[in-house]
């Protein structure tokens, strides 16, 4: 089983990102589940969402405590919480950041990838400059670094799930797919 924990702030699209990733992985033949966890439900508050995928039905119904991958939509969350808590040795970290992967000191044995999803979102008029909606860009970067899904599956999932600005969201995913840094 592959488990992913997504960390974001209310309004950035963490919950929709989980739905997009689950739909994408379903299109690739995986059994999936996606669900959120909310603390204080307000814009800007920390939010977590979870995705599981497997080749067989998933019966586990708890939060993801020991993920294989962490996705961080807002790098300022590193100042408020410990996003990598419980990350399995050899785990993958995807961060929305303009800093290169090598500038992130997250511990030994983690594969760190970065993509400037905020810049991509702003370029595609997704959200505002101060509150970009980065979920679709992150989904594109996810496909690139994991190899678990084709970018066309991500685009198809976006078209089914995202309610507006579909062309811009698909474009953001494709841009991030090619821009993610290892």
Cβ neighbours of residue 97 closer than 8 Å, sequence gap 6 or more:
75, 104, 114, 115, 116
Domains of the chain: 2-179 (3.40.920.10)
Whether 39 has a pLDDT exceeding 70, the answer reads: no
Average pLDDT of the residues in 108-137: 93
Could you tell me the pLDDT band of residue 22, with boundaries at 50, 70 and 90?
very high
Dihedral pair phi/psi, residue 99, rounded to 5°: -80, 140
- Write down the pTM of the prediction: 0.93
Q: Mean pLDDT, the chain, as a whole number? A: 92
Per-residue model confidence (pLDDT) at position 26: 98
């Amino acid at each position: 089983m592959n488990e992913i924990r997504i960390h974001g702030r209310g309004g950035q699209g963490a919950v929709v990102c989980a739905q997009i990733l689950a739909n994408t992985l379903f299109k690739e033949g995986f059994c999936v589940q996606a669900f959120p966890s909310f603390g204080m439900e307000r814009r800007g508050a920390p939010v977590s969402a979870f995705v599981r995928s497997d080749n067989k039905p998933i019966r586990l119904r708890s939060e993801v405590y020991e993920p294989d991958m962490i996705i961080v939509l807002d790098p300022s969350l590193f100042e408020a919480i410990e996003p990598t808590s419980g990350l399995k040795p050899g785990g993958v970290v995807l961060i929305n950041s303009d800093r290169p992967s090598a500038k992130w000191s997250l511990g030994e044995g983690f594969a760190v990838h970065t993509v400037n999803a905020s810049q991509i979102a702003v370029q595609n008029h997704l959200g505002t400059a101060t509150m970009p909606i980065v979920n679709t860009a992150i989904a594109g970067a996810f496909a690139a670094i994991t190899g678990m899904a084709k970018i066309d599956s991500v685009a198809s999932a976006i078209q089914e799930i995202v309610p507006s600005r579909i062309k811009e969201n698909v474009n953001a995913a494709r841009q991030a797919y090619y821009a993610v840094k290892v």
